[in-house]
Amino acid sequence: MAHNALLLKNQLCFRLYTASRLFSKTYAPFMQSLGITYPQYLVLMVLWEEDAQTVNTIAKRLLLETNTVTPLLKRMEQAGLVRRVRDRVDERRRIVSLTPAGRALEEKAAGMIPSGMLPRFTCTELKSLDYTRLYADLDALIGELSK
């Protein structure tokens, strides 16, 4: 018999993993419609908030390593969504900016994703969930695990 601490039903990590996987699955039709992947969507959200950022800044915002973000940005550049240019002050750094096509996806995403995701939460107990508290708790957990 498994120790109580090793029971699947007692694992926070399993719940978070499953929720993450199912969120990705739920977002998939929207991503397909936009012609992007979910990681590309995350990069775009960072750039929609503030355009023209360094690769390092984008990686830090997404809590990813630059060696994970760089190939993603290269594919996005090939797709015409962003452009990468060398920083004039420090040529080792690359500045990533939205192209008109990348900027145009913001309006399309804004008109599709929030309204498409909202029904997923209105017919469940999640409609009464305190999202401010959930965000704070998850941010605290992410901060602790990032140390």
Sheet holding 53-54, edge to edge: 53-54, 94-98, 82-86
pLDDT-derived band at 105, boundaries 50, 70, 90: very high
Indicate the DSSP class of residue 126.
G
Query: To which residue do tokens 């920083």 refer?
Result: 87
Which tens digits make up the pLDDT trace of 10-41?
899 999 999 899 989 999 999 999 999 999 99
pLDDT in the model for residue 1: 60
pLDDT in the model for residue 2: 65
Tally of CB atoms within 10 A around 27 = 16
What is the spatial distance between Cα 102 and Cα 12, in angstroms, rounded to a whole number?
36
Task: Give me the chain's average pLDDT, please.
Answer: 91
What is the spatial distance between Cα 11 and Cα 127, in angstroms, rounded to a whole number?
24
What is the spatial distance between Cα 81 and Cα 135, in angstroms, rounded to a whole number?
29
The CATH class given to the 37-146 domain equals: mainly alpha
Q: Structure tokens of 19?
A: 């929720």
pLDDT in the model for residue 72: 97
The pTM (predicted TM-score) of the whole model is 0.87
Q: Structural domain boundaries of the chain?
A: 37-146
- H-helix segments, 35-99: 38-49, 55-61, 66-78
Which tens digits make up the pLDDT trace of 34-68?
999 999 999 999 999 999 999 999 999 999 999 99
Q: Structure tokens of 97?
A: 């900016």
pLDDT in the model for residue 120: 76
**3-class SS at 139?**
helix
